[in-house]
Amino acid sequence: MKFYKKPIFTGFSPNLTLSDTFTACGFLFLPWKWATLRMGGAQKKVEVWLEKYFESKHAYNYDSGRTALNHALKACEIKEDDEILVQSYTCMVVSNAITWTGAKPIYVDIKNDFNMDSDDLEKKITDKSKVLIIQHTFGKPADLKSLIAIAKKHNLKIIEDCAHSFGAKQDGKLLGTFGDIGMFSFGSDKILSCVRGGGLITNDDEISKKLQEFQSRLPLARKLKVIQHLFHYIAFAKGKPLYNLGVGKWILGTSKKLNLMNRVIYNPEKHGKQVIFYPSLLPNSLATILLKQFKTFDSINKHRQEVAKLYDQQITNSKIIKPDWSDESVWLRYTLLVENPTKLHVIAKKQGIILGNWYNQAIAPRDVELGKSGYKVGSCPNADKLSNQSINLPTNRHITKRDAEKIIAIINRYGN
């Protein structure tokens, strides 16, 4: 029996590098850097980089994707009781970004590719519909042609939720540039990450003016929060390699318990409430890390596509449903459908592999107060069904061909 099994993660800050950790340590431990923890030139550089990369007239950054989405909606001048069309099979923080504006989320069902079903969208539009949020789930472009045509017919503003799809294209055009506003998340499990951050792009001068005004009213992130974000790098850099020995699990668990690290979603958010320390501006220290990630993410997206291709070619188990292959997806996660995801999670964990559970409920995670999201179970039957069967395989930069083959072998044995 092997004493040490290399841990393989799907989530757990998959983009984290030694270089990011050094940068974080610099901000934490070098006194002359403390003045630039929250303020400095990096935030502006991130915005300029986004404008250049997307050939967009305006870009703004924030403490998170959820804040970005909330500001995008407010910039569309929605009023209380307006209806925002959004797909089910999403995260509670997306619902919150809508409900915090006073508007009402109207959930649209998904197709088997985890993206919005345009037939169901048509059925859910009313006189109160104002904005359509198009989510490109797991990095695969949604059916933009149909969805945009419907939005235009009904005079809806379009926000593209590119939280999973930074760098993905449809017909050679970057996602995020099809609608009125493109929204991005730089959270710890995303294509690009600085633990917590978000961005918006737009070519609309009127929308931009409002975004600028809202952003100018945001406070700086609290110092303690920034320190917690930076400590995340140390805890994960130490905890991940030792995870399968138990020590790593202890490091991560204890850091969380002692509040040394931030959480992806706070308890009040699970109940539809805002937390007092957000929203805020993107801290300079995190923006510095993000700027470094901009340099490498294109090659990492290629790596993700190569790993996904291996899964596509070598998973042959007839008890498993694979996603349809798409060259246009950046495959943030490769999501399978299985009858009993819990069983597969347990089998993989015994081999030191932590698979992902996005999304395990139509509005995830499972411990949210669903009533506060406005979602009624049964209103989007395909999202209910697929969320009960979903399990994600990792595609991140740390997954080698050997790791992928190990995962494939487990998947192919499942149920046989």
Ligand X SMILES: Cc1ncc(COP(=O)(O)O)c(C=O)c1O
The verdict on 14 binding ligand X (CB under 6 A) reads: no
CB of 115 or CB of 284, closer to ligand X: 115
- Of 218, 199, 148, nearest to 46 by C-alpha is 199
The verdict on 91 binding ligand X (CB under 6 A) reads: yes
CB of 198 or CB of 394, closer to ligand X: 198
CB of 88 or CB of 305, closer to ligand X: 88
The verdict on 211 binding ligand X (CB under 6 A) reads: no
Query: Judged by CB under 6 A, which stretch of 3-11, 63-71, 294-302, 385-393 contacts ligand X?
Result: 63-71
- Tell me the backbone φ, ψ of residue 363, rounded to 5 degrees: -120, 105
Which listed residue (66, 232, 270, 397) binds ligand X by CB under 6 A?
Answer: 66
> 205-242 burial, b if ≥16 CB within 10 A, otherwise e?
eebbebbeebbeebebbeeebbbbbbbbbbbbbebbeb
* Residues 387 to 406 in contact with ligand X, rule: CB under 6 A: none
What is the nearest approach in angstroms of ligand X to the Cβ of residue 206? 24
The verdict on 208 binding ligand X (CB under 6 A) reads: no
For 73-220, strand residue ranges (E) read 83-87, 90-91, 104-108, 129-135, 157-161, 169-170, 173-174, 181-185, 198-202
Query: Judged by CB under 6 A, which stretch of 35-43, 88-96, 113-121, 232-240 contacts ligand X?
Result: 88-96
| CA–CA dist 376, 370 (Å, integer) | 8
| CA–CA dist 135, 86 (Å, integer) | 8
| CA–CA dist 62, 285 (Å, integer) | 13
Which listed residue (83, 161, 180, 269) binds ligand X by CB under 6 A?
Answer: 161
The verdict on 269 binding ligand X (CB under 6 A) reads: no
Query: Judged by CB under 6 A, which stretch of 160-168, 174-182, 236-244, 400-408 contacts ligand X?
Result: 160-168
What is the nearest approach in angstroms of ligand X to the Cβ of residue 29? 27
- Of 310, 320, 300, 305, nearest to 406 by C-alpha is 310
The verdict on 71 binding ligand X (CB under 6 A) reads: no
What is the nearest approach in angstroms of ligand X to the Cβ of residue 136? 8
The verdict on 64 binding ligand X (CB under 6 A) reads: yes
Query: Judged by CB under 6 A, which stretch of 89-97, 246-254, 270-278, 330-338 contacts ligand X?
Result: 89-97
The verdict on 160 binding ligand X (CB under 6 A) reads: no
CA distances from 390 to 174, 324, 403, 413 (A): 27, 14, 20, 18
What is the nearest approach in angstroms of ligand X to the Cβ of residue 254? 24
Query: Judged by CB under 6 A, which stretch of 64-72, 222-230, 273-281, 296-304 contacts ligand X?
Result: 64-72
The verdict on 187 binding ligand X (CB under 6 A) reads: yes
What is the nearest approach in angstroms of ligand X to the Cβ of residue 253? 21
* 135: its two tokens: 């989510």
Determine what percent of the chain falls in helix, strand and coil, rounding each to the nearest 5.
45, 15, 40
- Tell me the backbone φ, ψ of residue 84, rounded to 5 degrees: -115, 120
The verdict on 185 binding ligand X (CB under 6 A) reads: yes
CB of 24 or CB of 163, closer to ligand X: 163
Query: Judged by CB under 6 A, which stretch of 62-70, 212-220, 321-329, 376-384 contacts ligand X?
Result: 62-70
CB of 71 or CB of 406, closer to ligand X: 71
From first CA to last CA, the distance across the chain in angstroms is 23
> 134-152 burial, b if ≥16 CB within 10 A, otherwise e?
bbbbbbbbbbbeebbebbe
The verdict on 94 binding ligand X (CB under 6 A) reads: yes
For 167-271, strand residue ranges (E) read 169-170, 173-174, 181-185, 198-202
CB of 186 or CB of 414, closer to ligand X: 186
Burial of 388 (0-12, 13-18, 19+ CB in 10 A): middle
The verdict on 141 binding ligand X (CB under 6 A) reads: no
The verdict on 179 binding ligand X (CB under 6 A) reads: no
Which listed residue (115, 135, 329, 387) binds ligand X by CB under 6 A?
Answer: 135
The verdict on 248 binding ligand X (CB under 6 A) reads: no
Which listed residue (14, 176, 182, 198) binds ligand X by CB under 6 A?
Answer: 198
The count of other CB atoms within 10 Å of the CB of residue 296 is 15
Positions in the binding site for ligand X (CB under 6 A): 64-66, 90-91, 93-94, 135, 161, 163-164, 185, 187, 198
